[in-house]
């Protein structure tokens, strides 16, 4: 019984291996196009590309890729790092 079980199990493993290696004529899921073309999949189209007028998630995902912010917070050193700005003037409550 043990020998029969091992033979059936090894045949099943060989059949699984051969089924996974088959090419068939199925699509591989890749698009054929130019080498310089980048395809990006989004869950929805961007409604607006105005950085001050967007409040939806799909537009925000696109805007992050287009526009760069003034500062970014580094979580490793807990400091603000400059991106587009060259300096930051500190503004305190006594200056009000």
Length, in residues, of the chain: 96
| pLDDT, tens digit (0-9, with 9 covering 90-100), for 26-84 | 555 566 667 788 877 888 888 888 888 888 888 888 888 888 888 888 888 888 888 89
CA separation for the pair 69, 64 (Å, rounded): 9
**What confidence score (pLDDT) does residue 95 get?**
55
- pTM recorded for the entire structure: 0.45
| pLDDT, tens digit (0-9, with 9 covering 90-100), for 2-19 | 898 999 999 998 888 887
Beta bridge partner(s), residue 71:
82
| Terminal CA-CA length for the chain | 88
**What confidence score (pLDDT) does residue 61 get?**
87
What Cα–Cα distance (Å) separates residue 78 from each residue in 4, 13, 69, 70, 92? 64, 53, 17, 16, 20
* Closest C-alpha among 30, 19, 59 to residue 42: 59
């Amino acid at each position: 019984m043990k020998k029969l079980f091992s033979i059936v199990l090894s045949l099943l493993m060989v059949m699984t291996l051969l089924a996974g290696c088959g090419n068939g004529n199925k699509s591989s899921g890749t698009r054929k196009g130019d080498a310089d073309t980048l395809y990006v999949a989004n869950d929805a189209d961007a409604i607006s590309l105005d950085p001050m007028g967007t409040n939806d998630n799909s537009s925000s995902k696109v805007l992050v890729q287009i526009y760069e912010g003034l500062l970014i917070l580094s979580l490793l050193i807990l400091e603000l790092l400059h991106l587009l700005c060259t300096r930051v003037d500190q503004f305190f409550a006594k200056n009000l």
